[in-house]
Amino acid sequence: MPNPASLDARATLSGILPPVTMPFDSRGRVELSALKEQIDFMIANGVGGVVVGGSTGEGHTLERTEFAAVMRAAHDATAGRVPFLAGLIVNSTQEAIDRIHMLEGMNIAATQITPVHYLFKPDAEGTVQHFRTVYDETGIPILIYNVIPWNYLSSDLMLRIMREVPGVVGMKQSSGDLKSVSDLLLGAGPGNVVLSGIDALLYPSFALGAHGAITALTAAVPGVCVKLWDAVRRGDHATALDIHKRLNALWNSLYHDNLPACVKYIQHRQGLGFFHPRAPMQPVSDAQKAGIDKAMLDLPL
């Protein structure tokens, strides 16, 4: 497994890194064989890596046995073609450590880990120690996924963690907070990565210098997001702005409370199998499908 002392995070963890959605059947069971079709689709569209177990992937619903099976199947499907990131949405230091130990033998570029998300939150010292202990016990580079509303990390705390915990190689900043993306880019060390998790503002994130993105839209339409990333990198801001407007229209057609279901429907509209969210999340409705279909007509797929 990678050692952050030798990991070139900005080379390894950059560009469009879509979260893999979970292919649940109508009874909520994971169809492991369907993961390869989705990962092949993402890689064919030029992504820079894949993330399994994040929020778009409903990772918070996976119990331990499912987690291990999903990670193994997705890792095998990726087959080393792009970096593989493992997402953890757990509520204790020990659970994070135990789940990472379940990944032994896999080539994990990094783990994407949220702060704890239940009612009680640690103070700044406890948060630093949480990520330090996870890294010390596993040796796997960590991206912190800053998205939990009631345990929302300030830019100063995130920068402190990256300074004090060498294994924390970067941050994925979400919650629509472009100001924090800017602050992180200003303060990050030369080996750190700052990724955007802000679907509606991918273009300004990239224009500010974000090193890539992990978002629902990158899973839904990875090829379009790659085109946006490439346009910004070559300085073609007219094309980038046009793609941004089209992507934003698609984003405005989605609903946050069943966002993974909407993403799976968009993937299905591009030829992938149709899968369900895990209950009690609501399936995509006919009205949602109509709005998505309309927005997709304007995308450069």
| Domain presence at residue 168 | yes
Q: For helices 178-187 and 155-164, what crossing angle results, to 10°?
A: 30
Residue 156 burial (C-beta neighbours within 10 Å; 0-12, 13-18, 19+): exposed
| Burial readout 211-229 (b: 16 or more C-beta within 10 A, e: otherwise) | bbbbbbbbbbbbbbbbbbb
Q: What is the pLDDT of residue 234?
A: 98
Q: What is the pLDDT of residue 3?
A: 46
Q: How far is CA 301 from CA 175, 231, 246, in A?
A: 27, 15, 11
Average pLDDT over residues 6-34: 94
Q: pLDDT exceeding 70 applies to what percent of the chain? A: 98
Catalytic machinery residues: 145, 172
Beta pairing class for 142-146 and 50-52:
unpaired
Number of domains in the chain: 1
| Domain presence at residue 1 | no
| Domain presence at residue 144 | yes
Residue-averaged pLDDT of the chain: 96
Q: What is the pLDDT of residue 6?
A: 45
Per the CB < 8 A criterion, the answer to whether 123 and 93 are in contact is no
Alpha carbons 129 and 257: distance in angstroms, whole number: 32
Q: What is the pLDDT of residue 112?
A: 98
Query: What is the CATH number for 108?
Result: 3.20.20.70
pLDDT tens digits, one per residue of 173-220? 999 999 999 999 999 999 999 999 999 999 999 999 999 999 999 999
Per the CB < 8 A criterion, the answer to whether 217 and 249 are in contact is no
Tell me which residue range forms the domain holding 146.
9-234
Q: What is the pLDDT of residue 7?
A: 65
Please tell me whether residue 21 adopts helix, strand or coil conformation: coil
For residue 108, give both structure tokens.
Answer: 């994990």
| Domain presence at residue 286 | no
Q: Centre a 10 Å sphere on the Cβ of residue 73 and count the other Cβ atoms it contains.
A: 19
| Domain presence at residue 268 | no
- pLDDT-derived band at 25, boundaries 50, 70, 90: very high
pLDDT of residue 5 exceeding 60 = no
Average pLDDT over residues 144-160: 97
Q: In what order do the strands lie in the sheet with 15-16?
A: 15-16, 212-213, 193-196, 168-173, 142-146, 110-113, 84-88, 50-52, 19-20
| Domain presence at residue 45 | yes
| Domain presence at residue 19 | yes
| Domain presence at residue 117 | yes
Per the CB < 8 A criterion, the answer to whether 9 and 48 are in contact is no
